Structure 1
Amino acid sequence: MQHNKINKCALAVKLGLLVGSAVLAMPAFAANETEKAEQVEVIEIRGIRASQEANLNAKRFSNSIVDVVTAEDIGKFPDKNVAESLSRITGVGVSREFGEGEKITVRGASSSTNRTLLNGQTVATADWFILDNPGRSFNYTMLPSSLVSDLEVYKSPQASIDEGSIGGTVILRTRKPLAMEANSINLSLEGQYSDSSEKWDPQVSGMYSWKNEAESFGVLVSAIKQDRKVVRQGFEVLGWPTNADLDAKVPSHIGVPRFEQDRERETLFLSLQSRPNDQLDMVLNVLDSKVDANNHNQNWLIFVNNNAGSLSNTVVENGSIVAGEVASGGTAAYNFINRVSSTETRAIDFDLTYSGETYDLHTQVGHTEAKGGTYRETSWEYGPAGGTGYNFDLRGGTPTANTDVDAADPTQFRPGWIWGGEKPTTDEETYAQFDLTIPVQKGAFTAINTGAKYRMAERTQDRVAYSWHGPQTMVGNEGVAGDYLSHIFATCYDWAQCGLFNGTVNIDAVVNGNMTQQMAHNRAAMEEIAFVGLNGVPADFAKSKNLAEIWAVEEDILALYVQGDFEGEGFRGNIGVRYVDTQQTSGGYEFSGDSWGLWTIDREWLTPEVLEWVETDNDYSEVLPSLNIAFDLSDEQILRFGAARVMARQDWNNISSSITYGSLNVAQPTGSASNPHLMPQIADQFDLSWEWYFDASALFAVTYFHKDVKSYRSFSTFVDQRYWEEGDEWVDVTFTRPENGPGGTTDGFEVSYQQAFGDFGASANYTYTNAERDEARDLTKPGSGLVEGTSRHMMNASVYYENDSVSARLMYNYRTEWYKGLHFNGDELWNDSYGQLDASFGYNLTDNITLSLEAVNLTDEKVVEYNTDAARLFSIYQNGRRFVAGVRMNF
């Protein structure tokens, strides 16, 4: 599909092209951009101030609106991955659901509509968390910041840079051996303490770089190992359905969860570089990064909407029941969930640059792949015999929840159900590109750049359900009747049996009431019973493919571009156009409903009468013009203008052929469906920036940005039935499906300042973003009229002190509330305002050895989520403070 509608912004881009044509007639002023880069002052990166000068130097001489962070600056942040470093940049927001930066937003564009490139290329990524759906956003937990030499955030696009971003494109660059001293050694030994886990975790990284005396060949090896005990305690409401009988929104479940994870990250990086002569440069990079992310979660839940008819003493705010009680017999249950999870990314990239007498040729080919997800899940439910009375109150900032039953007494809980399964995902891309640069002296044009790129990508998701109640699970066990699930429950008739009870735990950080006083489960005992055996009876369970959640999406992309670089007296820039053709094929199972959507693969049980793999094609092409021009108003002041058409493809999960749903043992169950016919998000954008470099390490800048978005993702709903195994009945499920909806506009401004005062320095930036959709706000239609990822106000502030021996920095990062999209239950999900204070301190013991102390989230800020109205609380999560002490050695 071709988008040919001409609007004001597109017209402005065309006018920009005409301006470029006029520039051809102007006299040439200087050498081409490559020659100019060679004239830029080379700064030795040592210390905070020097690194900031290098950042400003790169930003100042760029032709586009770009923010830059160098390796030294990353090293001075208390950041263990690149997302945290990016959070210091103007207009960039970061999500921290588990206390560590994972995904970014740029200028109000959601994480899925921004691209991250490693050395200019895609890095495959697969999430470990079972509730995450495969998207376009990059998971930065895979990439430690020590691996990166510098990063650039392009906010105004160029034709020569990959498409795919509405907000901005992040380009991460790794170190090269020929750019370092021979036999360079960098070592870092650190210990990290988290006050939520009360554990010290080791973190070790090392890098060695060698090159020969002729500096024609070099090798760089980097290895990083970072362990972290993650403990997240909190409070959750798992949905806000409208109860017709009460004519109000009612909490679906209210729970007090505790999440624990042993996270182990290992990263290996190898770079080989050969420069046999001045014309040829070849680099081979190999990356292997793995995160073992086994986790378990317990949640003590009351099922409020199930007991809506028994509620009394209710308090209603804005049409929502925010307080109430059930006198007796209320539904409640423990969910104990164990997951074996991991994610691994691999990439191999070959980069060749050849400089001829009349041209420069660049070629890059490579392959990246990732696998991850939950490879085994076991979920057990035990509830109080006869139910329980309970009360709750969500008001006042700290919610309160109490039950009559003693949740720390294991003898009070009887078995309900066991379920589990697998949800592995894969991501893969093979790419090849070439770029040709021809220096010219045609008017003001100094170079013509052209090239092509071809990408073949595939994203998949599998889903397998385990059924311990399946047939044949007790075959061969004489004297034992029934299925294995019945055997478990007959033997482990309360939670005090079978070694399942593992003491008590108190979750009192974010909620009041006795629901915080819980029993802890024995993960090892659960795993033993579920997967090994119990009382001499071998464990057995049926494995069935959950057909509606299995999908594969293939994507072939061809991109062609031409770009002209120009420069004249007092101005410089580039103008170009990028043509992109995308061919998508989405595959999934089409099946009859006679087997409840399951296909048993390890025994004779469930096989649908109709079962066929069906593929849907979706093809489209886009023409993306761009213009960047910088006017040197004086030696210190630059005025920049940029105009472009940009695009972002829809999330993999949204264009798949999947249908998922949540718990069926609740009133009004919900689910999500995908749409393989979704078209990309298109926007026309303007950027206008004024920059004043009033000292070598000083800047004051103001930027205005405007985006005319053609189509946002909207949602529609439909009702379909699903079979509830535990209740042996079909129930109605309300599904939410994405679709292409009306567009809208996003505009705002950025203000940034930084300056050094002797040994002291300060920097601050502020971003205002106003995002509006043309779609009318309809409270009965989830997501209508809302823009994902947009905080109206974001700011960063930093002060530092540094001399030859000591460096210290204090940093604060803040953003106001933002819409995060639809929760897995179909409700609108918002994140409340969040501010985080971090600090770092370093002492140079010698020229080569530095002692460091870092603190993350000093004020112990909590992640708070709600359902559109702040009174409808969704969750409060406490990730706690983290402290890192270590030593860094450079030789």
Structure 2
Amino acid sequence: MAGAASVVVGAGAASAQELTSAANEVVVQDENKVMETVVITGIRKSLIDATAIKRNADGVVDAISAEDIGKFPDTNLAESLQRITGVSIDRSNGEGNQVTVRGFGPSFNLVTLNNRQMPTSSTLLEEGINRSFNFRELAAESVSGVEVYKTGRANVSSGGIGSTINIKTAKPFDYDGFKFAGTVKGNMDTSVEEGRSVTPEISGLISKTFLDDKLGILLSVSHAERDSRRERVGSQGWPANRGTEVDKSGIDTSNNPNQTHWLPLSIDVDQHVQERTRQNGQLVLQYAPTDRLTMTADYTLSRFEETDRLNRSSFWFDTDAGGNADADGTVTNPMRANDELNFWSFHNLFETENDSVGFNVDWKPTDSLSLQFDFHDSTSHAQPDGQSSETIINLKNPRRDHDNDPSTLPQGDVDIGLITRPGGRPDIVYDDSGFPTGNAFSSENIVFDLFQTRGFEIKNNIQQAQLHGQWANLSDGALRGINFGAAMTDYQIDTLRRRTVVFAPVDISALDLQFSPVDGFGSNIGGDQNLFPVLAEYDALEALQLAKDQGFYLQNDPTFNAVNEETISAYLSFDVETEFNKMPVSLNAGIRYEDTQVTASSLQNQIIALNYVNTAGRFFEIFSDELTGVAENNSYSLLLPNVDFRMDVLEDVVGRFSYSRTISRPDLSSMFPSLALDARPGGPFNASRGNANLSPLSSDNIDFTAEWYYDDASYASVGYFHKYVQNFIGTSTVVGSIPDINGNPLRDPSINPRPGCPDEVQGGNPDCFSMPTDPVIEFSIAQPDNIQDAEVYGWELNIQHTFGETGFGIIGNVTLVESDLAYDVYDIDQTVALTGLSDSANIIGFYEKGPLQARLAYNWRDDFLLSLTQPQRPGEPVFVESYGQFDVSASYEINDNFSVFLEGLNITDETTRSHGRFPDQIISMEQLGPRFAFGVRAAF
């Protein structure tokens, strides 16, 4: 349900479980001296649970607790996590998918499932390959709680500078006897124009114990579908100093002394139609032959499939474009005389299969000694059937010359102005067009341009064995316990990268190509008054089949990349409890040792020559049939200390100090040794390769917090954190030649081209290939390196208050974060910046009394740097603008077993907007629409 009222700050250790259980039971004594236990449930139960855990925690650990069995506060875990102080999320199609913690983006946070490191895989070529877990693949129904460790602990797996997020799932011994919870829900997405207006979501959890609670079994399953539509306008990128006819006289040289200008690659209008199916399941068996021994076996799976049918109308600005640059250097009225319209169709298929098998033994050989052994073998496989994730077709009308056919970009608050003629919208009929019918949007004037297939197939496997031990001091003394353990982790990722681009004269007379009126498009992002008059619609798979039927289909050989990391770790920590001036004090001090061996390898075809295909695009490589392998090795050892100090200053006031050292390992694609080219006629001539010798980022973290618990479910807290981060990864560049398969430098075939070149003929025209007489190309060869240190610091403020017995309550929190690693929008050579850094805030109001529950939640995130790579322009930034969203939910308990509920997400229909270096450099504006859900929940 939207609005996770069970969020707390500073929660953490499982050692508070007994206190939590006790807090949820109130003993009532009537006048006849009969004792009765009243069990607290619902929102108040989750608040009491989390608050009791919080108060007894070591370090700074936030938590969310399920309100009841099978009832998590939000249906998407990321959307629940965003309610936590310091946690904000990235969204995909309006859903939370990845998290940022204290300004550190998704790749800086480690996600574990029941304290096991989880694999992840993504097939999108433009995103690269990182370690970020995608929360949209995991349903919330079987999740009993989430812990966010913001400070390092010796016994917690390393890998998250921002945080380590541990997802806890239900087990049969969590409950006595028989338990069942099930939900049937209908999801209504108001954006849908084709597809189902209501899609189903069904989940269930059943648990049963046998043999006097010595044997237990739990099964949870869920199936969710969603149909949706997105409307977008934007650009594929804003390269620097592109366009030869730009007027720079308006640039303010006090900020931009070199008069750098930015002109868009394209202007796009997109229509997405998406269908998503998510299936989750978990089977857990537990056996406790004695009170001292518990064995658990579990299997967890998820299946995620999403299809995205995208039609895009676009206009591209090549090197001959011009326009007037504003004071910052942004060309807001780009013009191009020799132009064409492009009509793209994408069929994107994203599939992921996640499977995890685990075994756990919890043994207490003596009253003072406890041992836990845990092993799991977990795999995430993207595109398991080997299909390309992206099929892309481009149709066009032929190039033509116009002296007075400018194309203008968004200005002011209008945010859209596209493809306009002087005086208004473009006319459908161009009298001077030269087309057979004079209609630029008539199917007989449209020709096939190219097809492209691309994407990753990724298989990420983790095998991990862990041993944890605790010795408890049963006698008097300040030393209360010793914790120790060791682990072995084998992390393997194998990738297959596909990319084929073919220009072909495919006959499209049989293609079902339609042009629909633009009226009503983008009503909340500026309207349709300056858009193309009509938008093209056709199916990419149908067009690709025409290419196959006519003999134009081919596939380039893929590139193979792999990384293997083998890590051996051990830890030791001490728990101390004492007093200082009659104030209770607790201390946890520990150290973790890790040794990691890294092997990165690649297998790819070698380059024979460069092919001069056209003046506007990039050179195509002509590859050999032979595969060549290369491997690089690295190793590093680390010591990760931590100290957590807690003092009960007053009976209801707690102060904390924590120091820890944490790490984040490099993104996986940054270590692949394979070489990639991006060379274009006339330049730039770029190349990139990975670096297996990267060191992990490390951070020394300091935290101070003060917490005031003035009621069992009410508190206020303030915290300050400061992180000193080393080894931030950026890009270093060298200039030099790149050899072909024979060891000779690659050459430029576009200088003094041969007759008939460039040529888009399928397979390539050999006359347009680079030859020994052509000039040698000097490439800018980029590779990632550890090049910078930085500091990140900020404040976290939180209040949680219940208004007595009225049933009303409120939760509010604010995170303010700063860093000295900011992005300089005027520096075109900057390659390092902290992505995800932003302030955030939440306010949640709730009511729970009798059978009625209701919540209203508002989540806000300030603007932030999302990436240093635009869709088709590496090295240029993407900023996401500030965004706030209202979510609402309400439920009514019909009786002890059944309840009905209603949920609303983004109820005020907010839109998203991202841009390049400056607000006028639009990358994407999206309109998604509100979503609603209604359903019935049963629990026995």
Normalised TM-score (structure 1): 0.87
Contact 2:809/2:845, CA 8 A, preserved across alignment: yes
Quote the residue 2:262 is aligned against.
249
Matched ranges for 1:782-801 at <5 A: 782-784=830-832, 786-791=833-838, 793-801=839-847
Q: Aligned partners of 1:240 and 1:527: how far apart in 2? A: 30
Which residue of structure 2 lines up, in the alignment, with residue 454 of structure 1? Answer: 488
Question: Which amino acid counterpart does residue 466 of structure 2 have in structure 1?
Answer: Q
CA distance in 2, matches of 1:856, 1:36: 34
Helix, strand or coil at the partner of 1:164: coil
Distance 1:517 1:629, change over 3 A: same
Work out whether residues 63 and 628 of structure 1, in 8 Å CA contact, stay in contact via their aligned partners in 2.
yes
Deviation at 1:445, TM superposition (A): 1.2
Counterpart residue number, 1:273: 286
The counterpart of 1:773, out of the listed 795, 814, 821, is 821
User: 2:471 aligned with 1:425, yes or no?
Assistant: no
Q: 1-side partners of 2:860 and 2:883: how far apart?
A: 6
1:676 aligned counterpart, secondary structure: coil
Distance, in Å, in 1 between the alignment partners of 2:270 and 2:795 is 40
Question: How far apart are residue 261 of structure 1 and its match?
Answer: 2.0
* Other-structure match for 1:17: none
Cα offset for 1:863? 2.1
SS at match of 1:743: strand
**Which residue in the other structure is 1:835 paired with?**
884
Residue among 621, 624, 637 paired with 1:608: 624
Q: Which runs of 5+ in 1 are unaligned?
A: 1-32, 470-484, 598-604
Q: Distance in 1 between matches of 2:40 and 2:682?
A: 59
Moved more, 803-812 or 458-467: 458-467
Aligned to 1:476: none
Matches within 5 A, 1:583-622: 583-589=597-603, 592-594=606-608, 608=624, 611-622=627-638
SS at match of 2:191: coil
User: Structure 1 residues 57, 39: closer, same or farther in 2, change over 3 A?
Assistant: closer
Aligned partner of 1:50 in structure 2 is 45
- Aligned counterpart, 1:303: 316
Deviations 1:610-638 (A, max 9, x none): 64211100111110010111101122111
Letter in structure 2 aligned against 1:702: V
| Bigger mean CA deviation after superposition, 654-663 or 93-102 | 654-663
Contact 1:237 / 1:253 at 8 angstroms: preserved in 2? yes
Equivalent in the alignment of 2:249: none
Match of 1:320, SS state, is coil
Q: Hey, what's the Cα distance between the residues in 2 that align with 1:704 and 1:295? A: 43
User: Please, which runs of 5 or more residues in structure 2 have no aligned partner?
Assistant: 1-12, 25-38, 247-259, 421-425, 429-439, 612-620, 739-745, 750-757, 762-767, 771-776
Match of 1:368 among 343, 354, 378: 378
Corresponding residue for residue 206 of structure 2:
208
Aligned residue number for residue 917 of structure 2: 868
How many angstroms apart in 2 are the aligned matches of 1:391 and 1:669? 28
Q: Write the letter of the residue equivalent to 2:356.
A: A
The CA RMSD over aligned residues, in Å, is 2.8
* Residue 729 of structure 1: how far off its partner (Å): 5.9
Cα offset for 1:594? Answer: 0.4
CA distance in 2, matches of 1:769, 1:564: 32
SS class of match (1:197)? coil
Cα-to-partner distance string for 1:372-395 (whole Å, 9 max, x where unaligned): 148223211111223473422222
CA deviation vs aligned residue, 1:38-85 (integer Å, no higher than 9, x gap): 455252562112211111111111122111111118977773221111
1:384/1:405 contact within 8 Å kept: no
SS at match of 1:323: coil
8 Å contact 1:108–1:790 — kept in the other structure?
Answer: yes
CA distance in 2, matches of 1:65, 1:359: 26
**Using a 3 Å threshold, how does the CA distance of structure 1 residues 663 and 809 change in structure 2: closer, same or farther?**
farther
Which residue pairs with 2:65 in the alignment? 70
Give the 3-state SS of the residue equivalent to 1:580 in structure 2.
Answer: strand
Asked whether 1:810 is paired with 2:856, we answer yes
TM-score in terms of structure 2 length: 0.82
Q: Structure 1 or 2: larger helix share? A: 1
Spell out, residue by residue over 1:830-882, the C-alpha distance to the aligned partner (whole angstroms, 9 max, x if none): 11111111111111122211111111111222221111222222211222211
Moved more, 230-239 or 676-685: 230-239
Report what 1:542 is aligned to: 554
1:11-50 alignment to 2 at 5 Å?
38=18, 41-43=22-24, 44=39, 46-50=41-45
Partner SS state of residue 394, structure 1: coil
- Give the Cα separation in 2 of the matches to 1:57 and 1:90: 18
CA distance, structure 1, for counterparts of residue 262 and residue 203 of structure 2: 51
What pairs up with 1:300-699 in 2 under 5 angstroms? 300-308=313-321, 311-312=322-323, 314=324, 316-326=326-336, 328-357=337-366, 358-373=368-383, 375-376=387-388, 377-387=390-400, 389-397=405-413, 398-402=415-419, 404=426, 406=428, 409-440=442-473, 441=475, 443-466=477-500, 485-486=504-505, 489=506, 491-492=507-508, 497-501=510-514, 507-509=521-523, 510-511=525-526, 512=528, 513-515=530-532, 517-523=534-540, 525-530=542-547, 533=549, 541-547=553-559, 550-569=560-579, 570-589=584-603, 592-594=606-608, 608=624, 611-660=627-676, 668=684, 673-699=689-715
What is the rounded CA distance, in whole Å, between the counterparts of 1:342 and 1:468 in structure 2?
Answer: 25
**How is 1:175-194 mapped onto 2 (pairs within 5 angstroms)?**
175-194=170-189
Shift of 1:329: 3.1
Q: Is the counterpart of residue 762 in structure 1 residue 796 in structure 2? A: no
- Larger deviation: 770-779 or 55-64? 770-779
Partners of 1:417 and 1:160 in 2: CA distance: 54
Q: Distance in 1 between matches of 2:14 and 2:120?
A: 33
1:679 aligns to what SS in structure 2?
coil
After superposition, the C-alpha distances for 1:131-154 in whole angstroms (9 at most, x for unaligned) are 322211111011111121011111
Q: Which residue of the partner structure matches residue 107 of structure 1? A: 102
Equivalent-residue separation in structure 1 for 2:679 and 2:539 (angstroms): 24
Distance 1:207 1:504, change over 3 A: farther
In structure 1, C-alpha distance between the alignment counterparts of 2:69 and 2:924, rounded to whole Å: 32
Q: 1:97 aligns with which of 89, 92, 97?
A: 92
Percent identity, aligned pairs only, is: 26
Contact 1:558–1:581 at 8 Å: present in 2 too?
Answer: yes
Residues 337-384 of structure 1, C-alpha deviations (whole Å, 9 max, x = no match): 213321111111111100121410100001000111482232111112
Amino acid at match of 2:811: S
Q: Secondary structure at the match of 2:136?
A: helix
Structure-1 separation of matches of 2:557 and 2:733: 25
Q: State the 1:409 CA deviation.
A: 3.9
AA aligned opposite 1:579: Y
Displacement of 1:674 in angstroms is: 2.6
| 2:929 aligned with 1:880 | yes
**2:363/2:372 contact within 8 Å kept:** yes
What displacement does 1:284 show? 1.3
Change (3 A) 1:382 1:120: same
**Structure 2 letter corresponding to 1:54:** D
Distance 1:681 1:558, change over 3 A: same
Moved more, 515-524 or 256-265: 515-524
Of the structure 1 ranges 620-629 and 38-47, higher mean CA displacement relative to structure 2 is found in 38-47
Q: What secondary structure is seen at the aligned counterpart in 2 of 1:248?
A: coil
Distance, in Å, in 1 between the alignment partners of 2:14 and 2:219 is: 29
2:634 partner amino acid:
N
Matches of 1:255 and 1:804, distance apart in 2: 52
Instruction: Call closer, same or farther: CA 1:774–1:668 in 2, change over 3 Å.
Output: closer
Against the structure 1 CA distance between its residues 706 and 809, is the aligned structure 2 distance closer, same or farther, given a 3 Å change threshold?
same
CA–CA separation in structure 2 for the residues paired with 1:380 and 1:330? 19
Q: Which amino acid aligns with 1:243?
A: N
Q: Which of 749, 752, 755 pairs up with 2:795?
A: 749
The CA distance in 1 between the partners of 2:73 and 2:534, in whole Å, is 35
Q: 1:642 to 1:296 in 2, by over 3 A?
A: same
